[in-house]
Amino acid sequence: MNLKVEKTPLEGLLLMAPLSFEDARGYLAETYHKDKYKHFGVNCDFVQDNQSYSVRGVLRGLHAQLRSPQAKLVRAVSGEIFDVAVDARPNSPTFGQWHGDYLSGANLRQLFIPEGFLHGFCVLSETAIVHYKCSSLYVPDDQSGVLWNDKDLGIDWPIETPVLSDKDRQNLTWKKFREALKKA
């Protein structure tokens, strides 16, 4: 199978690396194949693809939808990012724990993030293009988030002073997010 898969410490969160075929012209990589991914437990009907362009220092996240959770398959098309997922599934043994990995256009790695996780990333290269597949549609009124530097989560970001959107500056604390989860 042309896919290398590593389990992370968080149940269902997978680091995936499609194998590439290289020659003098460059490379070709199969970045998604439903049956192959299903073999490793990625059994999603992806319904929406998103792509972002960001400059060095931008941090997007941590985001989640509460009533219409999205599984995501995230990859950096170009540049390098530090991609983070936080287990926000209340009944999970790893609830409140995070995992981060470096994704880049060069390493072709992808992070599969199951439903019920918060997601965010920061850009480490001059620019980055990030593409991700989603298992449910974006619902603006269902969007929630947690502050990137919430001390209760203790995420070890490789950046100290990120560029944030106004919306991300207003994200909830982990404590308030947990309360919102109970009401969803």
> Pick the catalytic residue: 37, 99, 119, 132?
132
Is the model's pLDDT at 183 over the cut of 90? no
Is the model's pLDDT at 1 over the cut of 70? no
How large is the average pLDDT for residues 63-86?
97
Is the model's pLDDT at 136 over the cut of 90? yes
Residues 6+ apart with CB under 8 A from 107: 17
Query: Could you give the percent of the chain with pLDDT greater than 70?
Result: 99
Topology given in CATH for the domain delimited by 44-183:
Jelly Rolls (2.60.120)
> Pick the catalytic residue: 37, 63, 99, 119?
63
Vertex 53: Cα angle to 15 and 154 (nearest 5)? 50
- Residue 131 bears catalytic tag: no
Q: Is 154 within 8 Å of 118 (Cβ atoms)?
A: no
pLDDT of residue 19: 87
Q: Enumerate the domain spans of the chain.
A: 44-183
How large is the average pLDDT for residues 138-148?
96
- The verdict on whether omega for the bond into residue 3 sits within 30 degrees of 0, i.e. cis, is no
- Residue 63 bears catalytic tag: yes
Task: Give the single-character DSSP code of 120.
Answer: E
Is the model's pLDDT at 164 over the cut of 70? yes
